[in-house]
Amino acid sequence: MMHLFRIAVMLVAWLWVSGAPATGFAEEAALSIHLDRREATLNDTLKLTVHIAGAEDAPRPAEIPGLEDFVVTSGGTSSQIRMDHTGVLKSSEHVYFIQPKKTGRFSIGPASLTIDGIQHASNILALTIEAPSSNDQTPSGPVFLTAELDRPHVYVEQSAVYILRLYLKARAGDLSLALPESDHLSFQQLGNPSEYRTMIEGERWQAVEVRYSVTPSAPGRYAIPPSRVRMTLYEAGRNPRRGFFDDPLFSSSRGRPVTVRSGPVELQVSPLPEDGRPGRFSGLVGDFRMQARLDPASLRAGESATLTVTIEGRGNVQRIPDLSLPAIEHVKTYGDQPSLEYRDGEDGPEAVKTMKWALVPEMPGRYDIPPLTLDFFDPSAGRYRTIEAPPLALEVSHGNQAEAGSQTPATRTSPPPEDETGPAALGEDILPVHTTPLTLSRGGRLPPNPLHAGLVLLGPALAVGAVCILVRLRRRSSLAASRMRARKAARRFFAHFGNGGLSAEELEAALRDYLNDRFQLSLGVLTPHEAAAILKARGVRKDLAARFSALAAEVDRALYTGKGQTAAGTREDIPDLIQQIEKELP
């Protein structure tokens, strides 16, 4: 009831004011500008108010000199009506939020405005902008940003973790992160941002933490510039002079743009040592483990076993090489396509690479599997390491032919000796020599039908032939499926791209899937250099390979600067590029 009463009183007052004669506008009009403070840092957002007295709905000033070095955002317009013994006084205010782009001393104003043919000019304000302290991470307002590295010193290709923490005491929206840009440094987000509450100097803050791996590609000392977060900050403001119109029914939160910057950080990068570097070193840096298993470990000649080797670890995992299995005498080997599976790690990129081979032994025996080795640089130990898969052996027994041919010794039926002085038998282990087929039949061990004997003798050979045919059919079927997938690679890309509005992450996945399907690859990460090399190796023109590499680099920049979810796949030249590449391929 009280709110309804106040609303009724307000309506009556408004009707009375709108009908009351206003004071002469031309004589009372005045233009002035005000700043909420005269000294600030690059991290601060200032409030600039343009006050026009004597006018309720005056237009905005066309231009305010001195704001060229500031990001200006409108904060809204308000009108005020004040009543006293002289009559009704009307005024209006235009609010701007300004964010400095550089340090220095600035003069803002005078603002100018023409009302009813009369030119009005405001006052001039002096403003000083200073650089924020690099070591000052104490809260100076409702929001601040910090940055740190988990280690100050790394080797080339070794990742450090870049940790950003945003602290808030007010509600914020429309957050946009700009990561620092530095030559020879690449950023990759690790997992999802985490939110938690913490206490700083006895006050409770809401914290948002996000981690990135920063990987250097060249040695040197890097001064990583500050990161920036832009947002809209909502703070419920109140007039210190509480009046009738300050009723909670009409209170609201007003958003203002805010940009906060972290402090810079330094990273020292050392080159990889030359001493002890293996000749087959691939550039792999980190901590890795290798395992191998054989399934099954024993079989019959003509059957196949699978050798599986996995490499798991943390580091520049995209450099895990494809291992080659040395030739094994009397064993045919068929390599499968390696796979690389990425995992979220809090301390850097992690992955598991799996490589498989099908082993088909041609004859019985014991076969020792050649040990596979991996060389990498271990930054924690500061030296190169070589790891080796555990030793494995494949036991191969006789096939069906051996089983069919292994028979119980036949009964000895030898002719009587010619005379009593002939040689005597030395032992029953010597079987008699049969001179005619009739003597073989008397043993009762083989079937008398020649067709059955032929089947027994040819059975193992037919079994081995069938196995070989099945293996070849499987290989041909896999090859045919791969070729079909390659022919449809571009069609799938166009179907995915045709949906429109692809983000940078989706476009990167679409480009990677296109190369994997088109050339039967298993790329886990698509780098611009690798993309160009793959296309050139398949006979694509250098200019088309360079365009594809530039597109991949553009997507990389979007991903590494926190713009992975922004729309990137709306360009019409991308499908045209894929079509031109397809014309170059067989």
User: What is the CATH classification number for the domain harbouring 208?
Assistant: 2.60.40.740
Q: d(Cα 317, Cα 188) in Å, to the nearest integer?
A: 13
Residue 502 maps to a domain: yes
Whether 124 and 148 map to the same domain: the answer is no
Residue 435 maps to a domain: no
Contact 274, 303 (CB under 8 A): no
Tokens of 542: 């250098």
Tokens of 256: 């203002």
Query: How many domains would you assign to the chain?
Result: 4
Residue 53 maps to a domain: yes
Q: d(Cα 478, Cα 472) in Å, to the nearest integer?
A: 10
Contact 159, 213 (CB under 8 A): yes
Q: Which domain holds residue 56?
A: 31-130
> 517, 521, 513, 509: which is closest to 558 by C-alpha?
509
Residue 16 maps to a domain: no
Whether 162 and 215 map to the same domain: the answer is yes
Whether 356 and 295 map to the same domain: the answer is yes
CA atoms within 13 A on the CB side of 511: 33
**Matching residue, tokens 């059957």:** 303
Q: Find the angle CA(301)-CA(305)-CA(310) to the nearest 5 degrees.
A: 155
Contact 101, 70 (CB under 8 A): yes
Q: d(Cα 45, Cα 67) in Å, to the nearest integer?
A: 13
Whether 331 and 363 map to the same domain: the answer is yes
What is the model's pLDDT at position 61?
Answer: 67
What is the model's pLDDT at position 549?
Answer: 85
- Can you state the angle between helices 504-519 and 542-560, rounded to 10 degrees? 140
Whether 96 and 175 map to the same domain: the answer is no
Q: Looking at 390, 405, 423, which one is the last position of a domain?
A: 390
Whether 150 and 180 map to the same domain: the answer is yes
Residue 163 maps to a domain: yes
Q: Looking at 342, 374, 390, which one is the last position of a domain?
A: 390
Residue 582, CA distances (Å) to 479, 488, 490, 522, 585 in order: 20, 11, 8, 19, 5
Residue 119 maps to a domain: yes
SS (H, E, C) 421-469: CCCCCCCCCCCCCCCCHHHHHCCCCCCCCHHHHHHHHHHHHHHHHHHHH
**Matching residue, tokens 């007295």:** 53
Could you tell me the mean pLDDT of each successive run of 10 residues in the chain, 586 residues long? 58 52 49 86 81 70 82 79 66 84 90 81 90 58 91 94 92 90 90 87 89 94 93 66 41 71 94 92 94 93 92 93 92 92 81 94 91 94 93 85 41 43 43 47 52 64 74 65 73 73 78 85 72 87 87 73 56 81 85
Q: 114: domain CATH number?
A: 2.60.40.10
Instruction: Report the predicted TM-score, pTM, of the whole model to 2 decimal places.
Output: 0.51
**Matching residue, tokens 């995915």:** 496
Contact 357, 304 (CB under 8 A): no
Whether 67 and 167 map to the same domain: the answer is no
| Torsion angle, alpha carbons of 305, 308, 309, 315, to 10 | 170
Whether 311 and 332 map to the same domain: the answer is yes
- Sequence-separated (6 or more) residues with CB below 8 Å from residue 95: 47, 48, 49, 50, 74, 75, 76, 77, 78
Residue 244 maps to a domain: no
Q: Which helix (H) or strand (E) holds 355?
A: strand 350-361
Whether 342 and 381 map to the same domain: the answer is yes
Whether 484 and 365 map to the same domain: the answer is no
> 250, 192, 296: which is closest to 565 by C-alpha?
192
Q: 319: domain CATH number?
A: 2.60.40
Q: Looking at 245, 270, 295, which one is the last position of a domain?
A: 270
Whether 148 and 109 map to the same domain: the answer is no
**Matching residue, tokens 């032939």:** 465
Whether 490 and 386 map to the same domain: the answer is no
Q: d(Cα 503, Cα 569) in Å, to the nearest integer?
A: 6
What is the model's pLDDT at position 423?
Answer: 46
Residue 245 maps to a domain: no
If you write DSSP's letter for every residue of 522-571 in order, what string do you get? --SS--HHHHHHHHHHTT--HHHHHHHHHHHHHHHHHHHTT-TTSEEET-
Residue burial 348-369, b: 16+ Cβ < 10 Å; e: rest: bbbbbbbbebbbbbeeeeebeb
